Structure 1
Amino acid sequence: MCGICCSVNFSAEHFSQDLKEDLLYNLKQRGPNSSKQLFKSDVNYQCLFSGHVLHLRGVLTTQPVEDERGNVFLWNGEIFSGIKVEAEENDTQILFNYLSSCKNESEILSLFSEVQGPWSFIYYQASSHYLWFGRDFFGRRSLLWHFSNLGKSFCLSSVGTKTSGLANQWQEVPASGLFRIDLKSTAISRCIILQLYPWKYISRENIIEENVNSLSQISADLPAFVSVVANEAKLYLEKPVVPLNMMLPQAALETHCSNISNVPPTRETLQVFLTDVHIKEVIQQFIDVLSVAVKKRVLCLPRGENLTANEVSKMCDRKANVAILFSGGIDSMVIATLADRHIPLDEPIDLLNVAFIAEEKTMPTSFNKERNKQKNKCEISSEEFSKDDAAADDDSPDKYVSVPDRITGRAGLKELKAVSPSRIWNFVEINVSMEELQKLRRTRICHLIQPLDTVLDDSIGCAVWFASRGIGWLVAQDGVKSYQSSAKVVLTGIGADEQLAGYSRHRVRFQSHGLEGLNKEIMMELGRISSRNLGRDDRVIGDHGKEARFPFLDENVVSFLNSLPIWEKANLTLPRGIGEKLLLRLAAVELGLTASALLPKRAMQFGSRIAKMEKNNEKASDKCGRLQIISLENLSIEKETKL
């Protein structure tokens, strides 16, 4: 994980060799281990490169990196497959070495076609005056662009800034392929022309599948002096995943459980599917490919090199290197179970569970003293979860926090302890009050969520920011103690719902348009995941100097799921808690999980209760006024009023 930025100016009299303070701060938050700036000047243009590194693998490599020919490289990514990177090597330097040896644009495209893993990059070719940049196929790493002054300058950055009263100027670079700009010709023409090298898939039958975003779609949101054109050589990147299997059954499907559509989901229901030899084989293949994806993401980081023998002998002194955004739902439970297979057994795993608490409730004086210091606010129990609350232990904070994800999270913790009793599972209770939410949204989170701006972006962005920060409480036998996760890697389950028909809209589409409509919905989900989710989540998690990793979006996992017909992934004739994400539920049963395998999908904004914190009558797609920046003048007035 890194914060990367390149500011280009074609008007020397207005160029500053320093980034604006707020942008520099946002970048440093992402890369706390090293910071460096590099200035490159030509007769026609000036470039300021700024790199901020979160060190996770190999030797710490300060960015930007430059070779003897003046080429400059900024890399925010992880190479998990495709190009060999030894454990002691740094992928930034490895990739830059390959880039420097590329003789033409075709070789550059071949190189990035091989890389598997999340990435965004900026690469300056000094001899040709080209600036290359782009994001991986799924857009798992953020990259924004900002064009200003009628073509006199532009900026690329992992994260932007926002100024009150101005229209949103930062936009996400589409994950449509690689872009290249000729800086010298741009300086002369004062017209910014971006050449696109798109993602394409060529089948064995030589059928070409284009990427979703067309040139006109990309250009539509850009200023008039910026245009996106197809590269002159008609070259392209090879898509890293196979196309979605759109096959439909020749006859009506006979479900193993066709007579139980109105019966509540049970483990026995899922067991029926496991009697089918073919289904069982598919499940094992899925577990295997997902397990490898998790393994790559939990082992590509340094651990334990500097521990003394005394520290190693004390398991309680070990710090978690990996954290999981954890609701206790099926996605996070399967990831946690597979992570347990590969992370050293004497290393704890942090389970980050966030709850938003709307109303204050008086704590009993007998409650743990340290807990009382938090000024915790708790929500009144809903009827839906009153029985669960009543069953909570008298000394458990869950008696006072009835948020759905807290309840399922604690139940999930018990399952994980049963599956792996020797592991230390740090269940981190992260409780967020209205006051803290509003303050940190205004001062930090709104800058990270933008350029996205809907109610849904606000809810999920805030929930993920607080969860990944990892500041909360651990419930132990000797009471409750404050805790802050030190894990630099945060695993998240995003991608499971999109591929396995986990959302309610999938069921609606299936009911109205059948399996063909469901296939199209899933194709759309994968096509828009870069602009809808991943850039935002990368910016939000990266703000804590941590790296988001997405096992369900591993290229091999996506290719495997894309290869299956839809009825082997989901069966929406079956009730909630079984039919959606059926393949994942069956995998969970095979992994030894119990109740969590049957939990219906619950969106993070509802499970954490952030959606009920402020306004209940909003639509997810509405523009969110709470994400607007309060001007410095208003803040000064606000402070004076309080005084």
Structure 2
Amino acid sequence: MCGIALIVSGIRIDLSNLIPEYVSPHSQPPEQVLFHIDDIKVALHRRGPDNIGSKNVFISFKQSFAVGVEQDMLLVELGEGEASHHFRTSSGYLLLESEASSRRANGFNHESFGQLHFVGATLQLRGTKPVVQPLVDLSGNILVYNGEIFGGIYISRDSNDSELLMQYLGQCCSCISHDQNSKHHSCKEGETSVPQVLSRIKGPWALIYWQNSSKTLWFGRDAFGRRSLLVHWPTPQDSRLLLASVSPLSSEFESSVADFEESKAMGQLNFWEELPCGIYSISISCSRIDGCLVGELKKHNWTDSSVEELIHWERASVQPEAGELSMSREKAPLEPLHKVLTALREAVMRRTVLSRIYETVSLGHGHKGYAPVAVLFSGGLDSMILSALLHQCLDPEYEIDLLNVSFDGLSAPDRISARAGLKELQKIAPSRRWKLVEIDADLMKLTSEMKHVLSLISPSKTYMDLNIGLALWLAAGGEGWIYEWSLSGQQIKYKSEARILLVGSGADEQCAGYGRYKTKFRNGSWLALHEEMKLDMQRIWKRNLGRDDRCIADNGKEARFPFLDEDVIRTLLDIPLWEIADLNQPNGIGDKKILREVAQLLGLSGAAVLPKRAIQFGTRIARESNRKNFGSNRAANQASAGSVDIYGSSNFLPKLHES
């Protein structure tokens, strides 16, 4: 949807279940903090949300004595202008009050006091009525949600994902967990748990949810990490727990070279980490020993076996028997091809047209001249397939923006293939209005932009991450030039207003597109190839998707990844590996073999034989970065520049300082 965040203070978080031998720091607020809630709000506001809101939850412990019986109570007070409500709960009365009232409530003799500050920024792409996050229901549950529901839970074209999910979560029992085969004793007939609801969702999501009845904080991200969620676990330097969709620039210590040593000493460079995919809970109670609020963290299993199967990423047929490979080379089996094509088409359909947002967004200027969906477009195999399928799914009156970035003008390989790809798309879909948006960049003039992208890619910090992040950030911005052939080929300034951006992530990992796969295959045959592809799929959340989501979302766009649709992943895993790729064949034929055959079915014969090019090479940002920071491509290659830590490099920092 756009972005979410949470800051938890005044609660001692026990992480020993997740991190062995972890010692919880005291929950006293640090004397000086790197990140404030306002820093996070500023970072989320940059994303151009339709609205941004926040809610404060104050949790205090009180001991009362009635008829000689000691009773513990957790009092929960909700701030940010909410009207007063009172609910009876198993642990006493729950108080939901305005912030002013909560201040008056501090007259109680609280032994400890904790605060949960929720922030939700909404880029509304589903539903027909405005939705403002955080959502709060009548039971005092609070939800901030950044995601889309594409299956698993039924959602109508008129519905909003966040509101629907809030309804489902509000019906969950108060127990902490269910396993796959049993039901918790405290659950009533028909009740489900929070992990069960979240395990059903097909689609990208990151979430923070306060379940009031159990005094439990839930958070997590989908099984492949298609939506960013960063975490700061409590440390002695900063005992707060922070969750955020993006790493903000600190208002206390700006991310500049002049402050590098100071910010490094303060731990800013290692403050955030990618939250590993999964579902987490923190149950809040009061310690009998010292009376402080304590939160015990647990990580929960996915309760849907199909999710576990996708995570394990096992393929039934890895090693071909004698004759199977030669038979596959003679004639491509049509059934697997059509299954992949169908799964991809449905994935694009789910991510583009199965909602009524276009009706609300395009009011006032109609369909004509409006492009609601854009494609991150290199003219290569993956982006050409997505563009052709988008054409099949999208109303013909809409235009389609193809966003192409170059750091070497007309000479960049991606610019050359993009122009050729546009002609091929115009040939198979002449009635569609295609707009190739050519975004030209000069790396030497992007100093301030580079500093900003450094904060977006954090905690990633290599030159390769920066090169990819900067290219994605510029492409998603959608500001460039298009040719108007009706005006004798005149080039005019254009900015894409599409809020949905289709991205080809996941195609290379699943279909053996990277060059190093051929090395693995030659050294260890089919099993080694499968294991390397599996490794990449299981770490794609950490190496790719969080970074890419942050860089694209910063422009008010939502990245959607059809190749990482659950049904597409399942379909590809059901196909023998030697039909997915045959790395005995030359590049442009055997790598991503099945996608090349799908492209042929779509009439994309030119794109079907194009070699794989990573975005940093196709746009030529890697070459320009190597020259700028290492002096030459040769020197950069000798230093393995792509994997060099920017902050540990003597080449990068002085150049930023001089700028």
- TM-score, with structure 2 as normaliser: 0.77
Change (3 A) 1:201 1:131: closer
Judge conservation of contact 2:479–2:495 (CA < 8 Å) in 1: yes
* Alpha-carbon distance between aligned partners in 1 of 2:394 and 2:44, rounded to the nearest angstrom: 30
Q: Does 1:179 align with 2:179?
A: no
Shift of 1:110: 1.2
Q: Say which of 566, 570, 588 aligns to 1:555.
A: 566
CA deviation vs aligned residue, 1:400-454 (integer Å, no higher than 9, x gap) = x211000000000000000000001000000001233333011x21110000011
Shift of 1:520: 0.5
* Alpha-carbon distance between aligned partners in 1 of 2:305 and 2:341, rounded to the nearest angstrom: 28
Q: 1:327-346 residue pairs with structure 2 within 5 A? A: 327-346=378-397
Change (3 A) 1:627 1:295: farther
Change (3 A) 1:306 1:21: closer
Structure 1, unpaired ranges of 5+? 204-236, 259-271, 358-377, 379-400
Matched with 2:331 is: 273
* Alpha-carbon distance between aligned partners in 1 of 2:448 and 2:141, rounded to the nearest angstrom: 43
Matched with 1:369 is: none
Q: Say which of 581, 595, 604 aligns to 1:570.
A: 581
Judge conservation of contact 1:144–1:157 (CA < 8 Å) in 2: yes
* Alpha-carbon distance between aligned partners in 1 of 2:461 and 2:532, rounded to the nearest angstrom: 23
Structure 2, unpaired ranges of 5+? 11-26, 61-112, 179-192, 256-262, 627-632
Matched with 2:82 is: none
Could you say what secondary structure the match of 1:74 adopts?
strand
Shift of 1:603: 0.9
Matched with 1:250 is: 321
Matched with 2:7 is: 7
* Alpha-carbon distance between aligned partners in 2 of 1:87 and 1:629, rounded to the nearest angstrom: 52
Q: Does 1:413 align with 2:484?
A: no
Matched with 1:34 is: 51
Q: Say which of 282, 288, 292 aligns to 2:346.
A: 292
Matched with 1:62 is: 132
Q: Say which of 198, 201, 205 aligns to 2:301.
A: 198
Q: 1:270-419 residue pairs with structure 2 within 5 A? A: 273-274=331-332, 279-301=333-355, 302-305=357-360, 311-312=365-366, 315=368, 318-357=369-408, 378=409, 401-419=410-428
Q: Does 1:51 align with 2:105?
A: no
Q: Say which of 530, 535, 541 aligns to 1:519.
A: 530
Q: 1:502-541 residue pairs with structure 2 within 5 A? A: 502-541=513-552
* Alpha-carbon distance between aligned partners in 1 of 2:495 and 2:651, rounded to the nearest angstrom: 29
CA deviation vs aligned residue, 1:198-231 (integer Å, no higher than 9, x gap) = 347758xxxxxxxxxxxxxxxxxxxxxxxxxxxx
Shift of 1:19: 4.1
Q: Say which of 578, 590, 598 aligns to 1:579.
A: 590
Q: Does 1:427 align with 2:514?
A: no
Judge conservation of contact 2:468–2:616 (CA < 8 Å) in 1: yes
Change (3 A) 1:273 1:627: farther
CA deviation vs aligned residue, 1:311-359 (integer Å, no higher than 9, x gap) = 44x83xx2211010000000000000000001111111000000013xx
Give aligned-pair identity as a percent.
38
Judge conservation of contact 1:3–1:31 (CA < 8 Å) in 2: no
Q: Say which of 462, 465, 472 aligns to 1:464.
A: 472
Could you say what secondary structure the match of 2:151 adopts?
coil
Matched with 1:445 is: 453
* Alpha-carbon distance between aligned partners in 2 of 1:628 and 1:490, rounded to the nearest angstrom: 36
Judge conservation of contact 1:5–1:157 (CA < 8 Å) in 2: yes
* Alpha-carbon distance between aligned partners in 2 of 1:45 and 1:178, rounded to the nearest angstrom: 23
Matched with 2:501 is: 490
Judge conservation of contact 2:316–2:574 (CA < 8 Å) in 1: no
Shift of 1:113: 1.2
Matched with 2:244 is: 157
* Alpha-carbon distance between aligned partners in 2 of 1:520 and 1:331, rounded to the nearest angstrom: 23
Shift of 1:125: 1.6
Shift of 1:192: 6.3
* Alpha-carbon distance between aligned partners in 2 of 1:451 and 1:238, rounded to the nearest angstrom: 27
Judge conservation of contact 1:572–1:579 (CA < 8 Å) in 2: yes
* Alpha-carbon distance between aligned partners in 2 of 1:464 and 1:494, rounded to the nearest angstrom: 12
Change (3 A) 1:540 1:353: same
Change (3 A) 1:145 1:174: closer
Q: Say which of 134, 151, 155 aligns to 1:85.
A: 155
Judge conservation of contact 2:284–2:294 (CA < 8 Å) in 1: no
Look up the equivalent residue of 2:206 and give its one-letter code: S
Look up the equivalent residue of 1:80 and give its one-letter code: F
* Alpha-carbon distance between aligned partners in 2 of 1:627 and 1:77, rounded to the nearest angstrom: 36
Could you say what secondary structure the match of 1:545 adopts?
coil
* Alpha-carbon distance between aligned partners in 1 of 2:213 and 2:363, rounded to the nearest angstrom: 50
Q: Does 1:135 align with 2:152?
A: no
* Alpha-carbon distance between aligned partners in 2 of 1:597 and 1:503, rounded to the nearest angstrom: 16
Change (3 A) 1:455 1:246: farther
Look up the equivalent residue of 2:604 and give its one-letter code: L
Question: Bigger CA drift: 320-329 or 162-171?
Answer: 162-171
Change (3 A) 1:521 1:159: same
Question: Bigger CA drift: 472-481 or 74-83?
Answer: 472-481
Could you say what secondary structure the match of 2:165 adopts?
helix
Look up the equivalent residue of 1:153 and give its one-letter code: R
Judge conservation of contact 1:246–1:519 (CA < 8 Å) in 2: no
CA deviation vs aligned residue, 1:574-623 (integer Å, no higher than 9, x gap) = 10000000000001001111111000101110000000113221522221
Shift of 1:97: 0.7
Shift of 1:638: 6.8
Shift of 1:567: 0.6
- TM-score, with structure 1 as normaliser: 0.79
Could you say what secondary structure the match of 2:55 adopts?
strand
Change (3 A) 1:418 1:124: same
CA deviation vs aligned residue, 1:38-78 (integer Å, no higher than 9, x gap) = 11101131111111110111022100011122211110000
CA deviation vs aligned residue, 1:53-106 (integer Å, no higher than 9, x gap) = 101110221000111222111100000001111111111011011101101333
Judge conservation of contact 2:199–2:303 (CA < 8 Å) in 1: no
Runs in 1 of length 4+ with deviation above 6 angstroms? 12-18, 189-192, 626-631
Could you say what secondary structure the match of 2:596 adopts?
helix
* Alpha-carbon distance between aligned partners in 1 of 2:393 and 2:358, rounded to the nearest angstrom: 13
Look up the equivalent residue of 1:196 and give its one-letter code: K
Question: Bigger CA drift: 22-31 or 456-465?
Answer: 22-31
* Alpha-carbon distance between aligned partners in 1 of 2:31 and 2:165, rounded to the nearest angstrom: 30
Judge conservation of contact 2:284–2:296 (CA < 8 Å) in 1: no
Could you say what secondary structure the match of 2:505 adopts?
coil
Question: Bigger CA drift: 7-16 or 462-471?
Answer: 7-16
Q: 1:597-616 residue pairs with structure 2 within 5 A? A: 597-615=608-626, 616=633
Matched with 1:393 is: none
* Alpha-carbon distance between aligned partners in 1 of 2:344 and 2:441, rounded to the nearest angstrom: 32
Shift of 1:628: 11
Look up the equivalent residue of 2:321 and give its one-letter code: Q
Matched with 1:364 is: none
Change (3 A) 1:16 1:97: farther
Could you say what secondary structure the match of 2:401 adopts?
strand
Judge conservation of contact 2:282–2:297 (CA < 8 Å) in 1: yes
Shift of 1:13: 6.6
What is the aligned length?
A: 540
